[in-house]
Structure 1
Amino acid sequence: MTVEPALPAELPAAIAASPRGSQVGAFFDLDGTLVDGFTATAHAGDRIRRRQARLGEVTGVIEAAMRYRFGRVDFAKLLERAAGYLRGESLAELDDIGERLFRERVRSRLFPAMHEVVLAHQRRGHTVVMCSSALTIHAEPVARFLEIEHVVCNHFEVDADGRLTGRIQRPVIWGRRKADAVVALCQRRDIALADSWFYADGNEDIALMSLVGQPRPVNPRRELAARAAAEGWPVLRVTTPGRGSHDGLRGVLK
């Protein structure tokens, strides 16, 4: 397996030595874990460049990106704000935009080392799951590219014509709610959390990180890093070629 130097040699060896089969889960956060930064900024930046965004939306996006960078995002409020800006839009058209922006702007921000980790779990026949607080239009293109079959994420509420109502389906996948959604998935698919892995960067992911047998913080923010040190969780440090990590504003300003 070819990996970045930043990926410890013990990780590929540990995955290769783990039990085979779908009863083992490999759960991956998206923003800051599989992708460098905040995927939603690619869509926000596109709307700004095309002059589709109002002033309040522009300032809201920059504020959200800064809060993400410093780990101060209230995702429920952020998602409700985003849904409000897009009220009346066609979900099918937004899906197409999400796929285009993945090709144009997000694909180059994938962490190569984390792609290798996904592949390593897939080779073991593990149930690989993207579990993210992102919306479908941002999460699903990445999952398709990485051939991740299962996605737990947030969904826009739509009307009978497939247009956004301005609300998010409940419950919002975030923090403890994300952990609850993953536990429910494990129960449905007979996945053993004690044998499973979870890769994430955010403080809000401590709840789920504490449930799996193989926690792996990736470029962890302060609170998660402190918890990892206290618990002895192995920490991964990864980058994209020629870039630092966790630049939440890149997708807006590029």
Structure 2
Amino acid sequence: MTKLTLFDLDHTLLPLDSDYEWGQFMSRIGAVDPVEFKRRNAEFYEQYQAGTLDPVAYLEFAFGTLAQFPRAQLDAWHRQFMDEVIRPALKPSALDLVRRHRDAGDLVAIVTATNRFVTAPIAAEFGVEHLIAAEPEVDDAGNITGAFRGTPPYGAGKVVNLNKWLAARGQSLDGFDRSTFYSDSQNDIPLLQAVTHPVATNPNALLDAHAKARGWPILNLFND
């Protein structure tokens, strides 16, 4: 296996932000205070888009919310979330892109700043076995405690987490003949610069300008 293909998730493979939409879903079903939670959720989302997010503060907020509920209840809500929000948003163009890389025999992984609870079922929907995501601490019963483990996979933290994952497999980034990363956001420039083939995918304005200045390919998956 000589090719590594990495995907960001939100606004790259999905035409939405799964973390933000999960928060909106929790507000909609009445699991959290709709006014205060929506306010804080919107604040963090704006910070992420602007590249000013404090990932530790956000994860403490996200995991603290999840820790209020038993895992069985969270899992039931997530199944509803998949049916109502995620599956209707899946685009054939994104599914086909992932499938082509899998069929070519690439080692494929999703690398996302969004936490594993929210994203693991979404990665499975894309047929992606390997997921590098923010890791919630869980107790012996599988309940989320509110704490998080490791380095947040945000910005340069994505490179840290990728290298750790590869090392655990006895591999390294420079051991691949070709490494590709698809992302929409300037927040992912550290990992885009670390691979041999960066692809600005549905890029926001900042990444679009950065990619054009460096001659990176630009892919728009969601154009009708």
Q: If the length of structure 2 is used for normalisation, what is the TM-score?
A: 0.88
Q: Which of 216, 219, 223 in structure 1 is aligned with 2:202? A: 219
| 2:3 maps to 1:24 | yes
Among residues 42, 61, 75, which one is paired with 1:62 in the alignment?
A: 42
- Supply the distance in 2 between the matched residues of 1:210 and 1:228 (Cα, whole angstroms): 10
Report what 2:120 is aligned to.
140
Of 133, 156, 172, the match for 1:176? 156
CA displacement at 1:193 relative to structure 2: 4.6
How far has the Cα of 1:58 moved from its partner? Answer: 2.3
Say if 2:62 is the partner of 1:82.
Answer: yes
Tell whether the 8 Å contact from 1:36 to 1:240 is kept in structure 2 after alignment.
no
Question: Contact 1:38/1:68 (CA < 8 Å) preserved in 2?
Answer: no
Q: Higher mean Cα deviation, 78-87 or 26-35?
A: 78-87
Q: Which residue of 1 aligns with 2:217?
A: 234
Q: CA RMSD in A?
A: 2.1
Question: 1:240, CA displacement in angstroms?
Answer: 6.7
Kindly provide the amino acid, as one letter, of the partner of residue 169 in structure 1.
Answer: R
Mapped contact 1:110–1:240 kept (Cα < 8 A): no
The alpha-carbon distance between structure 1 residues 69 and 184, as it changes in their structure 2 partners (threshold 3 A), is closer
Amino acid at match of 1:80: E
Within 5 Å, which residues of 2 pair with 1:237-252? 237-239=220-222
Structure 1 contact 193–211 (Cα < 8 Å) conserved = no
| Residue pair 1:134, 1:154 contacting (<8 A) in 2 also | yes
Alignment partner of 1:125 out of 82, 99, 105: 105
State the secondary structure of the residue aligned to 2:221. Answer: coil
Relative contact order (alpha carbons < 8 A, sep ≥ 6): 1 or 2 greater?
A: 1
Deviations 1:181-212 (A, max 9, x none): 21233342536355111001111211111111
Contact residue 194 and residue 212 of structure 1 kept, 8 A:
no
Matching residue's letter, 1:176:
A
Shift, 1:62, TM fit = 2.4
| Displacement after TM superposition at 1:221 (Å) | 2.3
**Count of residue correspondences:** 220
Contact 2:199 2:219 in 1 (8 A): yes
Structure 2, gaps ≥5 residues long? none
Matches within 5 A, 1:151-170: 151-170=131-150
Pairing 1:52–2:31 present: yes
SS in 1 for 2:199: strand
Structure 1: which 5+ residue stretches go unaligned?
A: 1-21, 242-254
1:216 deviates by: 0.5
- The whole-number CA distance in structure 1 between the counterparts of 2:126 and 2:162 is 19
Counterpart of 1:103 (choices 74, 83, 104) is: 83
Residue 129 of structure 1 and its aligned partner are, at CA, apart by 0.4
Aligned partners of 1:200 and 1:217 also within 8 Å: yes
| Aligned-partner Cα distance in 2 for 1:213–1:194 | 9
The amino acid of 1:226's aligned partner reads A
Distance of 1:120 and 1:196 partners within structure 2: 15
Q: Deviations over 1:9-43 (max 9, x none)?
A: xxxxxxxxxxxxx3211100011101112112332
Relative to structure 1, the CA distance from residue 165 to residue 64 in structure 2 (aligned partners, 3 Å threshold; closer, same or farther) is same
State how far apart, in whole Å, the 2-side matches of 1:189 and 1:26 are: 17
Moved more, 74-83 or 116-125: 74-83
The 8 Å contact of residues 133 and 173 in structure 1, kept in 2 or not, is answered as: yes
- Larger deviation: 93-102 or 168-177? 93-102
Cα 1:66–1:139 change in 2 (3 A) is same
The structure richer in strand per residue is 2
Identity of aligned residues (%): 27
